[in-house]
């Protein structure tokens, strides 16, 4: 009888050890999940801060472009640096006045554009007519 009780205590010890191993595994998994969630939240916070800084830089660039004082920014392609509380932002203003909008361009302008990029005259005229339609 004494031998049977010793066996049962050994079996109970093995069950307890297995349960402790299972609980330790669950605890490690929960800590890993919490760490991933914290990193994800930090990443979202950083992205929101950078987006706000970029929006502020765009607004400041618009103001500086419309400014009539000596601080006026021209659309010359120069890089202007703006420092915010948490970021250093580079802004370049370029003019788009020399670009062609195919939706509003005349047929003659489209033909000239297509000829400038190497299209034969007949092909340029046909493609320009298709674009205008």
Model confidence pLDDT, tens digit, residues 63-113:
998 988 888 888 888 899 988 888 899 999 988 888 888 888 899 999 999
Report pTM.
0.57
Note the pLDDT of residue 95.
85
CA-to-CA distance for 86 and 125, rounded, in angstroms? Answer: 54
Q: Hey, where are the domains in the chain?
A: 2-95, 100-133
Q: Let me know how many helices (H) and strands (E) the chain has, helices first.
A: 3, 2
pLDDT digits (tens, 9 = 90+) for 24-41: 999 999 999 999 999 999
pLDDT at 117 over 80: yes
3-state secondary structure of 78: strand
Note the pLDDT of residue 6.
57
Question: Cβ distance 80 to 94 under 8 Å?
Answer: no
């Amino acid at each position: 009888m004494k031998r049977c009780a010793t066996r049962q205590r050994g079996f109970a010890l093995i069950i307890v050890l297995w349960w402790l191993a299972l609980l330790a595994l669950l605890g490690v998994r929960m800590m890993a999940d919490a760490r991933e969630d914290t990193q994800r939240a930090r990443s979202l916070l950083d992205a929101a801060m950078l987006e706000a800084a970029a929006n502020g830089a765009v607004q400041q660039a618009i103001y500086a472009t419309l400014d009539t004082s000596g601080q006026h920014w021209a659309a010359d392609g120069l890089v202007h640096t703006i420092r915010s509380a948490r970021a250093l932002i580079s802004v370049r203003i370029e003019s788009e006045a020399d670009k062609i909008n195919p939706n509003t361009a005349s047929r003659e302008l489209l033909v000239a554009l297509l000829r400038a990029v190497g299209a034969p005259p007949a092909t340029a005229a046909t493609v320009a007519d298709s674009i205008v339609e």
